[in-house]
């Protein structure tokens, strides 16, 4: 019995010892954890606790206003109404979504998708379910607000897109997607983006985003343990600090907005692009790319159906064709060939070529656009009549590489550095290029086509306008640009752009420039010129028309009503500057697959309307300035008396 009692005592003592050890280890672990949390990581958890008690609500900044060169607002802001969902106040999400869906005729799935994108954010932060409510939609929500706890209509400043706003030039705003959020915040750590923010896409809005977006502010709120806003501090009369947002910087464009509107109106109904430059500085005065799109729908949120329609349109409405569209230049390229021929002494002002309506090279025949022929022509008459045969002959004698050298001197075949949307370099072919690309030597039969701006030749409308701007100013190749200056919210100029010279075209002499300008003036100003439809009363205009076949078709298939696909019709080109000497405006018009006719018939009238409007605006502004000065002088005299 005693032996059994001793065994039981030893067992109890053994269990007690192990229990004590386990308890000691547990207490030691708790003490160690307590030391780690309160001492070693005390500062960290104190900061976390503070963040749990006080939360920061970001206040977005109004974007900067975009003005034209004369101070007219091109793009501003106005209040918009957003339908927002605040999770902490919504009792029944499914019922709430069903009610809103019936009221606004919006599928519940769209609300759920918006909520899913924001599921990681705190419950007190609002989620925008629908942007840009109409006044009717606002009144419907307000009338039913008693049934919609947690649903509010909030006012937010946003872009005011009117019908005259050029979408490719200015770009548009679009809600930032989660994938791009982290990437953008790498370079915006001091002013980070938040999910739901609108960010610039394309055009001025994208390129000048860091200036336009401004500095967001914030306000602090107290929250409870569940992350819900608490009213404790407000009840004591104490308020947490608010930091107001700083509006974005304002931009002054080189664009003349009145001329921009006139350009859009003159080009209405056509596809392609128009570029208007100041030949003395490189300032872009107007730029239109058609077809366009409505930037408002991008800001609101484009539907899958609308997006599909945009990307499937064969005329590519999302592409800025002013710098991203490449086209064969057609006969507007003949100026380059003429300058190369004059400088290389292949031709002079007196040399003539006989045009029977075709040019024979070996066993091939290259036709003139006028199959009846132009007879004997010199350089000036060949330019006036746009005689292809003359330029076939000059191009053959020059050879592809000498033509290319002069073309590249004018910035063709390379990017001009236009800091806006995608820019294509175009293509100026050489013998080396063909060998590298096709593993074939340059053939003599390749030269006639590139001599009249067809075949392999490709240039952008911006390059086309800049080519004629350089001819107009006597050889200064300016870099085109869109923004004159940037002014911050207190009126300080923080950026100012000055004209930037790419190069002087020393390959061409002043005498040659003068001869070519005179020939181009005759194209518009003399009877029988192919550019006569661009003439403007009271001023001189110099220009060149061009028509480019897209596919090989019989003549006259470009006429309205002809049984030819619109995508096969000719491109109509026209380039011009005015006045002929000391030009103030240079323009390129590219009408893609034009249904009316060639450059002289379809594109030249567009250029003429734009040039006429330029001079009209100049006269009106001069008269207005003169009247204002007179009033100021009279006011000073009356004050002195």
Per-residue DSSP letter, 40: I
Exposed, middle or buried: residue 508 (CB in 10 Å: 0-12, 13-18, 19+)? buried
Mean pLDDT of 165-189: 84
Residue 355 has phi, psi (to 5 degrees) of -115, 105
296/172 Cα distance (integer angstroms): 8
**pLDDT > 70 in the chain, percent:** 88
Q: Is 424 left (phi over 0), alpha (psi -120 to 50) or beta?
A: beta
Q: pLDDT tens-digit profile of 367-396? A: 999 999 999 999 999 999 999 999 999 999
CATH 3.40.710.10 for the 257-297+321-621 domain, yes or no: yes
Here the tokens at position 353 are: 């070529």
Q: How far is CA 59 from CA 52, 125, 597, in A?
A: 20, 12, 55
| Fold of the CATH domain 55-252 | Penicillin-binding protein 2a (Domain 2) (3.90.1310)
For residues 516 and 509, the answer to whether their CB atoms sit within 8 Å is no
Cβ atoms of 277 and 91 closer than 8 Å:
no
**Mean pLDDT in residue range 600-629:** 93
Report domain extents, the chain: 55-252, 257-297+321-621
Decide which of 181 and 357 is more confident: 357
pLDDT for 127 equals 82
CB-CB contact of 370 with 494 (8 Å):
no
Q: How many CB atoms lie within 10 A of CB 638?
A: 8
Local confidence band at 114 (pLDDT 50, 70, 90 cut-offs): confident
Q: Using one digit for the tens of pLDDT, what is the confidence trace for 334-367? A: 999 999 999 999 999 899 999 999 999 989 999 9
Which parts of 274-328 fold into alpha helices (H)?
Answer: 295-300, 304-312, 321-324
CB 523, CB 384: distance < 8 Å? yes
What residues contact 285, with CB distance under 8 A and at least 6 apart?
Answer: 69, 254, 255, 256, 259, 260, 276, 277, 278, 585, 614
Residue 112 has pLDDT above 90, yes or no: no
Q: How far apart are CA 5 and CA 557, in angstroms?
A: 120
From 2-11, 92-101, 331-340, the region with the lowest mean pLDDT? 2-11
Taking only the tens place, the pLDDT of each residue in 303-313 is: 778 888 888 88
Q: What is the DSSP string of 497-521?
A: ----EEEE-TTS-HHHHHHHHHHHH
As given in the structure block, the two tokens for residue 525 are: 């100003």
* End-to-end Cα separation, the chain, in angstroms: 136
**pLDDT recorded at residue 135:** 87
Sequence-ordered list of residues with C-beta below 8 angstroms from that of 369, at least 6 positions apart, any chain: 386, 388, 547
Q: At residue 292, does pLDDT exceed 80?
A: yes
User: Cα separation of 624 and 641, whole Å?
Assistant: 26
For residue 594 the two structure tokens come to 């034009």
Rounded to 5°, angle at Cα 224 from 220 and 226: 120
Res. 39 pLDDT band, cuts 50 70 90: confident
| Closest to 210 measured CA to CA, from 177, 184, 239 | 184
Looking at residue 479, what is its pLDDT?
A: 97
In whole angstroms, what is the distance from residue 326 CA to residue 108 CA? 44
What is the overall mean pLDDT for the chain?
A: 86
Dihedral of CA atoms 495, 499, 500, 504 in degrees, nearest 10, equals: -170
Residue 406 token pair: 């002069």
Residue 580 has pLDDT above 60, yes or no: yes
DSSP 64: P
Residue 636 to residue 397: CA distance in whole angstroms: 69
Residues 6+ away with beta carbon under 8 Å from 467: 332, 335, 336, 410, 411, 412, 459, 575
Residue 346's pLDDT is 96
pLDDT at 41: 66
pLDDT computed for residue 191 by the predictor? 81
Stated as kind and residue range, the H or E segment containing 31 is helix 2-35
Q: Is the pLDDT of residue 240 over 90?
A: no
**DSSP string across 379-397:** HHHHHHHT-HHHHHHHHHH
pLDDT tens, position by position, 427-460: 999 999 999 999 999 998 999 999 999 999 999 9
Digit-coded pLDDT (tens) for 201-213: 899 999 999 999 9
């Amino acid at each position: 019995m005693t032996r059994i009692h001793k065994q039981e005592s030893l067992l109890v003592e053994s269990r007690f010892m192990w229990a004590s050890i386990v308890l000691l280890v547990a207490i030691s672990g708790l003490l160690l954890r307590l030391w780690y949390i309160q001492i070693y990581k005390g500062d960290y958890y104190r900061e976390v606790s503070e963040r749990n008690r006080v939360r920061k609500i970001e206040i977005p900044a109004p974007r900067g206003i975009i003005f034209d060169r004369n101070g007219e607002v091109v793009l501003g802001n106005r209040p918009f109404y957003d339908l927002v969902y605040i999770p902490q106040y919504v009792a029944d999400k499914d019922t709430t979504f069903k009610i809103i869906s019936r009221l606004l005729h919006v599928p519940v799935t769209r609300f759920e998708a918006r909520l899913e994108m924001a599921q990681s954010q705190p419950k007190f932060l609002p989620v925008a379910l629908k942007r840009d409510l109409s006044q009717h939609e606002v009144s419907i929500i307000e009338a039913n607000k008693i049934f919609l706890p947690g649903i509010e209509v909030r006012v937010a400043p946003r872009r005011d897109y009117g019908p005259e706003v050029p979408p490719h030039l200015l770009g548009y705003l679009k809600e930032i997607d989660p994938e791009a959020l982290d990437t953008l915040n790498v370079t915006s750590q001091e002013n980070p983006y938040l999910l739901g923010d609108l960010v610039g896409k394309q055009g001025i809005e994208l390129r000048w985003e860091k200036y336009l977006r401004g500095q967001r502010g914030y306000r602090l709120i107290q929250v409870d343990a569940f992350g819900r806003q608490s009213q404790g501090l407000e009840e004591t009369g104490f308020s947490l600090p608010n930091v107001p947002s700083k509006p974005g910087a304002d931009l002054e464009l080189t664009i003349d907005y009145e001329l921009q509107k006139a350009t859009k109106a003159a080009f209405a109904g056509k596809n392609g692009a128009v570029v208007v430059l100041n030949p003395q500085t490189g300032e872009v005065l107007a730029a239109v790319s058609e077809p366009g799109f409505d930037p408002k729908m991008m800001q609101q949120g484009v539907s899958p159906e609308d997006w599909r329609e945009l990307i499937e349109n064969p005329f590519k409405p999302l592409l800025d064709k002013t710098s991203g569209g490449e086209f064969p230049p057609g006969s507007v390229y003949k100026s380059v060939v003429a300058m190369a021929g004059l400088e290389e002494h292949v031709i002079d002002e007196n040399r003539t070529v006989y045009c029977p309506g075709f040019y024979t090279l070996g066993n091939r025949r290259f036709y003139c656009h006028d199959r009846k022929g132009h007879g004997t022509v010199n350089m000036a008459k060949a330019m006036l009549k746009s005689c292809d045969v003359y330029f076939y002959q000059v191009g053959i004698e020059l050879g592809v590489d000498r033509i290319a050298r002069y073309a590249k001197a004018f910035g063709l075949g390379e990017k001009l550095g236009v800091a806006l949307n995608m820019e294509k370099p175009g293509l100026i072919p050489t013998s080396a290029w063909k060998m590298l690309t096709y593993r074939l030597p340059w053939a003599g039969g390749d030269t006639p086509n590139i001599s009249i701006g067809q075949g392999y030749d490709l240039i952008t409308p911006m390059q086309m306008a800049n080519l004629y701007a350089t001819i107009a100013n006597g050889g200064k190749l300016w870099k085109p640009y869109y923004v004159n200056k940037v002014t911050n919210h207190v009126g300080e100029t923080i950026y100012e752009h000055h004209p930037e010279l790419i190069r002087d075209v020393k390959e061409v002499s002043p005498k040659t420039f003068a001869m070519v300008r005179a020939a181009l003036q005759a194209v518009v100003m003399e009877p029988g010129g192919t550019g006569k439809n661009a003439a403007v009363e009271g001023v001189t205009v110099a220009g060149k028309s061009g028509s480019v076949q897209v596919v090989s078709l019989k003549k006259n298939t470009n006429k309205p009503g002809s049984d030819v696909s619109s995508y096969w019709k000719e491109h109509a080109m026209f380039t011009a500057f005015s006045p002929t000497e000391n030009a103030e405006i240079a323009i390129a018009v590219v009408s893609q697959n034009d249904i009316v006719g060639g450059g002289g018939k379809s594109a030249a009238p567009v250029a003429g309307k734009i040039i006429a409007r330029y001079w009209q605006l100049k006269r009106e502004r001069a008269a207005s300035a003169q009247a204002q000065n007179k009033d100021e002088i009279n006011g000073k005299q009356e004050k002195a008396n």
